[in-house]
């Protein structure tokens, strides 16, 4: 969010300082670990309608945002494939019914397509020997998160954002600097102390991801396996790279991946495609996603006597890439006019101690 906002504001003529406690590669950020799937219908099974609406809005916005960058970023919109083993058919039936109900509530969602064996073979030939049926969610997509972070870094330099890497700052201290017209806090879990007021406190939710090099596997699109204990996702990137994950643990622990998680992820991915048996493990990574108590994103604005305005953006949880453009558009509208019609339409919660904050510079 910080990079997206900094670039957007700089392109609109603002002078922007960007402070990041991590390095320019984003190696300590949840955004670097994510699979970056853009799947509002699939995620509708576990999240609120407002997040789904933000995901639909963002899916249409990502191609434009990527096209505006000087460096190409892998983006795909070939849908999501849902698979299950025979013993999990009842679980798949419940999941499908849930998605279909959600489609009746939101006309922008396209109904999932039921696949017989021939349809699975036509859509994803490499898994047809193991799966006799499946579900296809049209129009969903993904991007390469690491390519995007690298492209945004290049763009930051091109639009002359003043980047201060490996620099920890306190937003309230920056607010004392009258040379700024405003401060935007996008620190994720680093902003816990600023989200202690009220009931909607901030926490970290641990996720564990394995990156594989699997040239024998030729999945064409993100694939999810329904399982009562460890449902997994497999996100195929360019050059035979696959990002595999599933875990969601209520903990802010960022230590190495557990043996249990590694065994479950690797076992499950092998049941999807036997070619993963000869895959090379490139990386096992963990990170914590910034999550508010209600698991929903929020934008807060604050104006205090003698301090420049503060905007706080947080709580993107497991949907960071899926909803980031929507949050970006709402924040830009807030900075421009003091309110956001897009936020009202999408259901993004915004709280404010001021009726009309001045346009701000992203820090």
Query: Tens digit of pLDDT for each residue in 18-36?
Result: 999 999 999 989 999 999 9
Which is it for strands 349-352 and 162-164: parallel, antiparallel or unpaired?
A: unpaired
Q: pLDDT over 70 for what percent of the chain?
A: 97
Distance, in Å, from the CA atom of 102 to the CA atom of 99, rounded to the nearest integer, reads 5
Q: What are the chain's domains? A: 2-35+146-202+294-352 (3.50.50.60), 40-144+215-240+257-274 (3.30.9)
For the cut 90, the answer to whether the pLDDT of residue 353 exceeds it is no
If one counts every other C-beta atom within 10 angstroms of the C-beta of residue 63, the result is: 14
Q: Is 332 helix (H, G, I), strand (E, B) or coil?
A: helix
Which is it for strands 232-236 and 241-245: parallel, antiparallel or unpaired?
A: antiparallel
Angle separating helix axes 320-337 and 2-11, nearest 10 degrees? 40
- Residue 354: pLDDT band by 50, 70, 90 thresholds? low
For the cut 70, the answer to whether the pLDDT of residue 362 exceeds it is no
CB 321 within 8 Å of CB 143: yes
Distance, in Å, from the CA atom of 301 to the CA atom of 171, rounded to the nearest integer, reads 13
Instruction: Tell me the average pLDDT across 240-250.
Output: 92
* Residue 348: φ, ψ to 5°: -80, 125
Which is it for strands 113-115 and 134-137: parallel, antiparallel or unpaired?
A: antiparallel
Cα–chain center distance at 341: 23
User: Across the chain, what does the average pLDDT equal?
Assistant: 94
Output the pTM of the full model. 0.95
Among 362, 211, 353, smallest CA distance to 284 is for 211
Among the residues of 25-88, which ranges form H helices? 30-33, 40-43, 49-67
What's the CA dihedral at 328, 331, 333, 337 to 10 degrees? -160
Among 34, 29, 3, 30, smallest CA distance to 237 is for 34
Specify the pLDDT at position 230: 78
């Amino acid at each position: 969010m910080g990079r997206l906002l900094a670039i957007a504001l700089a392109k609109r003529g603002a002078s922007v300082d960007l402070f990041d406690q991590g390095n320019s590669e984003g190696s300590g950020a949840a955004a670097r670990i994510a699979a970056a799937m853009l799947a509002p219908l699939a995620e509708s099974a576990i999240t609120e309608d407002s997040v789904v609406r933000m995901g639909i809005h963002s899916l249409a916005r990502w191609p434009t945002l990527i096209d505006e960058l000087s460096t190409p970023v892998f983006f795909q919109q070939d849908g999501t494939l849902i698979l299950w083993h025979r013993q999990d058919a009842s679980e798949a039936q419940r999941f499908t019914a849930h998605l279909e109900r959600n489609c009746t509530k939101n006309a922008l969602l396209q109904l999932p397509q039921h696949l017989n064996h021939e349809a699975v073979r036509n859509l994803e030939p490499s898994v047809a020997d193991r799966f006799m049926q499946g579900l296809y969610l049209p129009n969903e997509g993904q991007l390469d998160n690491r390519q995007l972070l690298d492209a945004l870094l290049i763009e930051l330099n091109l639009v002359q954002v003043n980047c201060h890497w490996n620099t920890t700052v306190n937003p309230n201290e920056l607010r004392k600097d009258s040379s700024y017209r405003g401060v935007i806090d996008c620190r994720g879990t680093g902003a816990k102390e600023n989200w202690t007021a009220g009931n909607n406190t901030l926490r970290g939710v641990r996720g564990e991801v394995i990156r594989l090099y699997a040239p024998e596997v030729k999945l064409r699109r993100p694939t999810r396996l329904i399982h009562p204990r460890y449902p997994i996702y497999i996100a195929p990137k360019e050059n035979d790279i696959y990002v595999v994950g599933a875990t969601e643990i209520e903990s802010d622990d960022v230590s190495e991946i557990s043996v249990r998680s590694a065994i479950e992820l690797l076992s499950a991915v092998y049941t999807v495609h036997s070619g993963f048996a000869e895959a090379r493990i490139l990386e096992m990574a963990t990170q914590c996603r910034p999550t508010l108590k209600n698991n929903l994103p929020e934008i807060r604005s604050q104006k205090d006597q003698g301090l420049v305005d503060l905007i706080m953006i947080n709580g993107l949880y497991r949907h960071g890439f899926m909803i980031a453009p929507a949050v970006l558009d709402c924040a830009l509208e807030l900075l421009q006019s003091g309110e956001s019609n897009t936020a009202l339409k999408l259901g993004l919660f915004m709280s404010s101690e001021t009726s009309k904050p001045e346009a701000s510079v992203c820090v």
